[in-house]
Amino acid sequence: MAPSEPPAALPEGVHLKRLREGDIADALALSAEVGWNQVAADWRIFLELGEAYGLTAASEGGRLIASAAILPQGDGFGWISMVLVTATWRRRGLARWLLRHSIESLRARRVLPLLDATPAGRPVYLTLGFEDCWSLRRLVLRHPPRTDTEAGVEGVLVRQLEAADWPAAIAYDRAIFGAERGALLRRLAERLPRAALVAERGGEIAGLLLGRDGRVMSQLGPLVAEDDSVACALLRRAVPAVGVPLAIDVADRHARLGEWLASLGLTSERPLTRMIWGRNAAFDDPRRLFAIAGPELG
């Protein structure tokens, strides 16, 4: 397949580097340039749990002009994200070069590359061997939510995530997401404690919600739950607690949840497509995965 072919040569004076802690400020400048939501803690996730790459240009005094990141998830698959090129260096093949490099980096680890594509990026990813898996969309709330008229869920207790919950919460998420990502989940819980919630039914975990702070808004997710009513119960607690503006990336297959969020005032900002390299079968449990951690985290 095309992605296994060697990448084309980089332009003269452009060099690849592995990003480190000292590069975070420059990486943040790239993501802020395009209006993305990342903060330093997001870039640090890639440095500590995955890998981040950069391209520098000698003509720019060695300045970072492009980036990409990979985030392996267990031993089955891993994310590609943060593919960014500063404006003056676009349309020179740098993003495609970094995508190929990221694909091969994950394949060298014997894991399957995944990504969440915007409409603009999807045609490019198709040419690199990715296939459509399922669709989702970003919903955004910029004003206080409208009154919630939906009743609570009998027999379901929503409460703050506690330290003693972690073994069961990580196991629950793994069964739904398709891989163990406890280190990532713990980082998210620290980032936005008001959104770190569990739902219990009969003394067992029936749902889990986390979130994180962002440069321009808070992000809710991942959201995993036994059914729509439990997912709504978790968000009913989190949305007013976190405040606006906030975003949540919801799977289109959960139309009822999307309609309920729309009734609160959330609006659709952009569609996304989950894509997998070389296959279209998902790893997750579609019935119970309601919202992702974000396009860059899975």
- Identify whether residues 157 and 240 lie together within a single domain: yes
In a domain? residue 156: yes
State residue 7's pLDDT score: 56
- Identify whether residues 141 and 240 lie together within a single domain: yes
State residue 4's pLDDT score: 47
- Identify whether residues 178 and 247 lie together within a single domain: yes
For residue 45, give the amino acid letter: I
State residue 22's pLDDT score: 97
Indicate the number of domains in the chain.
Answer: 2
Which bin fits 155, alpha (ψ -120 to 50), beta or left (φ > 0)? left
- What is the pTM for the complete model shown? 0.95
CA 61 to chain centre: 32
| Domain span including residue 90 | 2-110
The residue ranges of the chain whose pLDDT is under 70 are 1-7, 149, 151
Q: Is 135 helix (H, G, I), strand (E, B) or coil?
A: strand
- Identify whether residues 160 and 105 lie together within a single domain: no
In a domain? residue 120: no
State residue 148's pLDDT score: 81
Paired tokens of 240: 């007013």
Q: pLDDT tens digit string along 101-120?
A: 999 999 999 999 999 999 99
- Domain of residue 14, CATH code: 3.40.630.30
State residue 116's pLDDT score: 98
Q: How many Å apart are CA 150 and CA 76, to the nearest integer?
A: 39
Query: For 155, how many CA atoms within 13 A lie in the half-sphere containing its CB?
Result: 7
State residue 244's pLDDT score: 97
Of 142, 71, 58, the C-alpha closest to 105 is 71
